[in-house]
Structure 1
Amino acid sequence: MSSPPLRETPLGGEHAALGATLTDFGGWNMPVRYASDLAEHRAVREAAGVFDVSHMGEILVSGRGAAAYLDHALAGRISSMAPGRAKYTMILAEDGGIVDDLIVYRLADDRFLVVANAGNREQVAAAMAERATGGVDVEDVSDSYALIALQGPAAAEILPLVAGVSALGELGALRNYAWTDALFRGSPLLVARTGYTGEDGFELMVGADEAVALWRAVLEAGAERGLVPAGLAARDSLRLEAGMPLYGSELSRDVVPAQAGLGRVIPADKTGFVGEAAKDPRPGARVLVGLTTEGRRAGRAGYPVLRGDAVVGAITSGALSPTLGRPIAMAYVDPDAASAPDLAIDVRGTRVPATPADLPFYRRSTR
């Protein structure tokens, strides 16, 4: 039986025209790179990069009971958010396992936008619909919108120069995890100070029919300021340096938030929500740690973590860090090995000493 055709974002033709190398990413035909993984990574750290993230899922929640419903359906206390703010949170299974990690935007008192990972869009939409109560509407609006991420230290300089953007307001007043309304060629444009790279930047949500024009306008505005189009490879190495977990690597239904160092997404005094079991400790459960090694041989996903002759964990993500110039990795290890000085990674049969490291590996300087 043949596999279904890969889905295309509204920018599929743009990626092909730019000569991108494309791959299957969660059923979507997405750009891995346009020219060089390393050049794209460095551009985001030093100037700016633009990413197509239109494969992400967008779910609109509205109605008089929307805030209370989201408090029940999700891990965070969504009702405490003010309009104009965003929050990182999760949707959990009954046993506390992670169904997906999310960003929630409060658009108005009774209107919210939930952004889910592309590969989990259907599961998240179904779970949220199942948890909905009377007077609350849950609508998957993903196909109506495009999402473009402008990331890097020059992002705030570039965005006001994008032709067609108006009514943007003062970007300096837009805090991290906040959003504002703007216009692009007269159409609504949501501008959020969020991202997945560890740098300053913005995520721009626009109607799907305006995606190509906005993408081209961003590239043109940043052309003389070091901006480049960037693909999945750079996005992955950037988020790894920033210690940001990836669903399917660090996060899954077999993991509760506390194991990933994200217990803070659940308020200590919160009760009565789906997945409340995540608050109970799981004695002996492996925990997420950062690891660094010397040399050039990086641990990759699935490589065993050793302590003496015993396997005490496994790498979930690893790479040679372009910014730090050394191999870094995230791994789940037994709790008593989380800070052990005598760990090693089995790199294709070679034992490479590894040192526990605080996450994130990289933190941007204040600019």
Structure 2
Amino acid sequence: MDKKTALYDKHLELGGKIVPFGGFLLPVQYAGGGLVNEHLIVRKAVGLFDVSHMGEVFFEGEHALAHVQKLFTNDFSTMKDGQIRYTLMCHEDGGIVDDMIVYKFNDQKFMAVVNAGNHDKDVDWMADQLGGADQFIDRSDDIGLLALQGPKSKEVLKKLIPETDIPEKYYTFKEHVAIDGMPILLSQTGYTGEHGYELYTDAADVGRIWDLLLEAGAEFGILPCGLGARDTLRLEAGMPLYGHEMTDSITPFEAGLKFAVKLKKDDFIGKAALAAKTEPETVRVGLKVTGRGIIREDAKLYVGDEEVGYSTSGTHAPYLGYAIAMGMVAKDYSEIGTALEAEVRGRRIPAEIVALPFYKK
């Protein structure tokens, strides 16, 4: 049975259209805004997302650093307290188990934020690799998570907390912050390509904090935003999504995520396989649709009569005003400017390979 976040009733009150996603019942959009308006308000001002479906796994104690170094592809030995780092977790053959971000509190405490749809798989994988679930603490059910995204997001927060409590740099966080007496962990992070923040709090407090953020953002036209806008925003920003641009059979190098793999660090799961696959034959690309139509996922891609790859995600980009997609194509056909076609329901839609991201603030 699908779970509900602590904000489920508030989503219904706001006219949220509820759909199953990652084992949860979540709003895909709201009656008061709609996907396009929600997308545009994040680009132009500020929007608020319930992302409490994400999971939080903590590594604590004297072996915490060793555990994250073993499980994940990035290097956490060089992190400072209060920093955040993007990483992959890979199979022995180099395929991606999941992607996540890791927060460092100190050398003996880290938090990994995992995708909702992969939560059980990730936790089982971690337990298998570390010798049991007693090597980490899964606090996913106890934590509520909100994403405040957009160029006015800092102005909203300044109405609720001192400016000194707001993280100054991207991928950093502050732990001891409070909104109306309710403790939060506040990070400058997000999945929209905009300036923004994510707020971790006790699940019992997340409803009150949601209300306060909507009240504080009213002067900027803040809207609650659903899964639909979250997906179109991340696509415009060229951000990969697990199950689309990343899978068990796609390596980080194919996905264009080389920056998150540190082959020079001590051994991690999948290192040997990845070291032999640094020059992939297939790579992730951005596609701008130059013909009429939308290229969704799993459309075959052609150059002339030769099949050269497949699409992984696609949509009409509300801010850019044209259709875009991402795909995996043979490296020999991956140069910027390459013209190709996607086969969609028996017809060919012309597209052109363009640089990622499609949108950059």
TM-score bracket for the superposition, by shorter chain length:
over 0.9
Which runs of at least 4 in structure 1 moved beyond 3 Å after TM superposition?
282-285
Distance 1:186-1:132 versus aligned 2 partners, 3 A rule:
farther
Kept after mapping to 1: 8 A contact 2:285/2:353: yes
Pick the aligned partner of 1:141 from 133, 139, 142. Answer: 139
Pick the aligned partner of 1:218 from 213, 219, 226. Answer: 213
Distance 1:362-1:127 versus aligned 2 partners, 3 A rule:
same
Report the counterpart of residue 79 of structure 1 in structure 2.
77
**Whole-angstrom distance in 2 between the partners of 1:97 and 1:252:** 7
Give the AA of the match of 1:300: R
3-state SS in 2 of match to 1:150 = strand
Deviation at 1:296, TM superposition (A): 4.5
* 1:91-143 deviations in Å (ceiling 9; x for gaps): 11111110000110011221011100001111111222233379x83011000
3-state SS in 1 of match to 2:253 = helix
Report the counterpart of residue 108 of structure 1 in structure 2.
106
1:11-26 mapped onto 2 (5 Å cutoff): 11-26=7-22
Report the counterpart of residue 97 of structure 1 in structure 2.
95
* Structure 2: gaps of 5 or more residues: none
Distance 1:183-1:167 versus aligned 2 partners, 3 A rule:
farther
3-state SS in 1 of match to 2:136 = strand
Distance 1:132-1:184 versus aligned 2 partners, 3 A rule:
farther
Kept after mapping to 2: 8 A contact 1:69/1:133: no
Deviation at 1:323, TM superposition (A): 1.2
3-state SS in 2 of match to 1:169 = helix
Kept after mapping to 2: 8 A contact 1:305/1:343: yes
Report the counterpart of residue 169 of structure 2 in structure 1.
175
Deviation at 1:6, TM superposition (A): 1.3
Report the counterpart of residue 327 of structure 1 in structure 2.
323
* Structure 1: gaps of 5 or more residues: none
**Whole-angstrom distance in 1 between the partners of 2:74 and 2:163:** 29
Pick the aligned partner of 1:293 from 289, 300, 307. Answer: 289
Kept after mapping to 1: 8 A contact 2:59/2:110: yes
**Whole-angstrom distance in 1 between the partners of 2:315 and 2:135:** 42
**Whole-angstrom distance in 2 between the partners of 1:359 and 1:120:** 26
Kept after mapping to 1: 8 A contact 2:297/2:311: yes
Kept after mapping to 2: 8 A contact 1:168/1:183: no
Kept after mapping to 1: 8 A contact 2:244/2:312: yes
**Whole-angstrom distance in 1 between the partners of 2:201 and 2:143:** 6
Pick the aligned partner of 1:37 from 30, 35, 39. Answer: 35
* 1:203-245 deviations in Å (ceiling 9; x for gaps): 0000000011011111111011121000000000000000000
Give the AA of the match of 1:176: Y
Q: Does residue 194 of the first structure (1) align with residue 189 of the second (2)?
A: yes
**Whole-angstrom distance in 2 between the partners of 1:262 and 1:349:** 33
Deviation at 1:352, TM superposition (A): 2.1
Deviation at 1:286, TM superposition (A): 2.0
Query: Bigger CA drift: 294-303 or 222-231?
Result: 294-303
Give the AA of the match of 1:208: A
Query: Bigger CA drift: 254-263 or 283-292?
Result: 283-292
**Whole-angstrom distance in 1 between the partners of 2:355 and 2:51:** 28
- TM, length-normalised to structure 2: 0.94
**Whole-angstrom distance in 2 between the partners of 1:170 and 1:65:** 30
Q: Does residue 236 of the first structure (1) align with residue 231 of the second (2)?
A: yes
Report the counterpart of residue 121 of structure 2 in structure 1.
123
**Whole-angstrom distance in 2 between the partners of 1:69 and 1:252:** 23
* 1:239-278 deviations in Å (ceiling 9; x for gaps): 0000000001111110110001101211241241111112
Percent identical across equivalent pairs? 41
Pick the aligned partner of 2:50 from 32, 49, 52. Answer: 52
Kept after mapping to 2: 8 A contact 1:296/1:326: no
Query: Bigger CA drift: 142-151 or 176-185?
Result: 176-185
- TM, length-normalised to structure 1: 0.93
Give the AA of the match of 1:325: G
Kept after mapping to 2: 8 A contact 1:167/1:183: no
* 1:291-339 deviations in Å (ceiling 9; x for gaps): 1122541211111111111221111101111111111110011111112
Report the counterpart of residue 255 of structure 2 in structure 1.
260
Query: Bigger CA drift: 271-280 or 105-114?
Result: 271-280
Kept after mapping to 1: 8 A contact 2:291/2:350: no
Kept after mapping to 2: 8 A contact 1:70/1:79: no
**Whole-angstrom distance in 2 between the partners of 1:68 and 1:92:** 16
**Whole-angstrom distance in 2 between the partners of 1:116 and 1:312:** 32
How many residues were matched structurally?
355
Pick the aligned partner of 2:61 from 39, 60, 63. Answer: 63
**Whole-angstrom distance in 2 between the partners of 1:51 and 1:170:** 21
Report the counterpart of residue 272 of structure 1 in structure 2.
267
**Whole-angstrom distance in 2 between the partners of 1:210 and 1:344:** 49
Report the counterpart of residue 250 of structure 1 in structure 2.
245
Provide the aligned C-alpha RMSD in A.
Answer: 1.7
Distance 1:183-1:311 versus aligned 2 partners, 3 A rule:
same
Distance 1:76-1:284 versus aligned 2 partners, 3 A rule:
closer
